[in-house]
Structure 1
């Protein structure tokens, strides 16, 4: 863990917090809540308590078409939110902020030694990568055994998460941000997105909230005093 820029400490922090508190928001220092009430996000997880009759899941080809035709998340789309509540198929480990590219393009090829995957599915645009530094997670059996367990174990193995010689800077060939490797690695972010994609049919709609009206991300700015903006979030 001494090489902090491998970010191998982050899965351990998340796993221990989930163990101790049951449900958590994990935020990097660049993330700011812009709303006090985030119950509309939590509803995507709490729906599992009451769901009894889900509509049939769309086949992969239909979900490819949906990804191509539907507008990317912008604010809070109530129609998509209502559909997600009715389907109630999202996982209980939710990401939120789109990173601007796919998973395959920024994941070191050696990672697949540890995580066998379907590369043809991983090249599709519905296998988008989302920021690992902004997470809402609930301690359920699925979360801990199917997601956090593998995230945690990969962090303990340097050659899994902290690939030797890996760099953050990417060079996307022909501006292809999905189907070609860009020569970079996003460490913990690559791993958690790969684990989630493998678990949820290589479709980001099942591991992200699709709601972006409650936060903003500010990176690389000067140090500012945000004391007057501090407060508590509410889950109603």
Structure 2
């Protein structure tokens, strides 16, 4: 149906040019790589998982209108050119395989356990504008300040290409218990965890890159 729509261009992802483990679809590396390819070619990019429904009337007008209003408001805390929209209803810590921290050291696990600043946001619905900040998050820059360690240079795209970064040892998608806040649920969120840790490291508060853009739904439940 999409291919027959004159307003839609369908592009096939060429996974063969990447390491063989990129084809392990349940590790979700392809999402980071497609984002990098898309932001290379387009100044504004929306990632929307196939099972996601955006129900707000005229949703694009709503989003861009809120962004424009925010720019005029000195008290607005939305400071990011990469925005996320869906509350995962659990903390980053609850689904964090700490092997990821070998590549992305963070400022402390306590904040990652709390709803106030360390909420994990879903990677199934993301907006990106091509800015220096967005490019820093998605890929490696040699001149990025080395604040924590040499591994701080790793970015979301490179994590997808590094076998043990986006799939640390003992990772699994299915949780032992429903994820909540200060207890590890025995599971990992792959690209979602990678992106959330990078964004948290940049802002230390998810509210700077979390927006409510109306009614969203999905066609199945995760748990």
Normalization by structure 1: what TM-score?
0.70
CA distance, structure 1, for counterparts of residue 80 and residue 74 of structure 2: 15
Q: Which of residues 196, 201, 207 is equivalent to 2:199?
A: 196
Instruction: State the partner residue of 2:150.
Output: none
Q: Gaps spanning 5+ residues in structure 1: where?
A: 56-86, 221-236
- Which structure has more helix as a fraction of its residues? 1
Report the 3-state secondary structure (helix = DSSP H, G, I; strand = E; otherwise coil) of the residue aligned with 1:32: strand
Q: Which of residues 124, 134, 148 is equivalent to 2:125?
A: 134
Per the TM alignment, residue 92 of structure 1 is displaced from its structure 2 partner at its CA by 1.2
CA distance, structure 2, for counterparts of residue 162 and residue 216 of structure 1: 28
Instruction: State the partner residue of 1:205.
Output: 207
Contact 1:11 1:152 in 2 (8 A): yes
Query: What per-residue deviation string (whole Å, max 9, x for no partner) do you get for residues 35-84 of structure 1?
Result: 33422322454467x55x734xxxxxxxxxxxxxxxxxxxxxxxxxxxxx
Q: Gaps spanning 5+ residues in structure 2: where?
A: 1-21, 140-154
Q: Which of residues 62, 83, 91 is equivalent to 1:40?
A: 62
Moved >6 Å (runs of 4+): none
Contact 2:32 2:191 in 1 (8 A): yes
Question: After the TM superposition, which residues 1-236 of structure 1 pair with which residues of structure 2 at under 5 Å, given as runs?
Answer: 1-34=22-55, 35-46=57-68, 51=72, 54-55=74-75, 87-117=76-106, 118-126=108-116, 127-145=118-136, 147-149=137-139, 150-172=155-177, 177-201=180-204, 203-213=205-215, 215-219=216-220
Question: When the two structures are aligned, how many residues end up with a matched partner?
Answer: 182
Report the 3-state secondary structure (helix = DSSP H, G, I; strand = E; otherwise coil) of the residue aligned with 1:137: strand
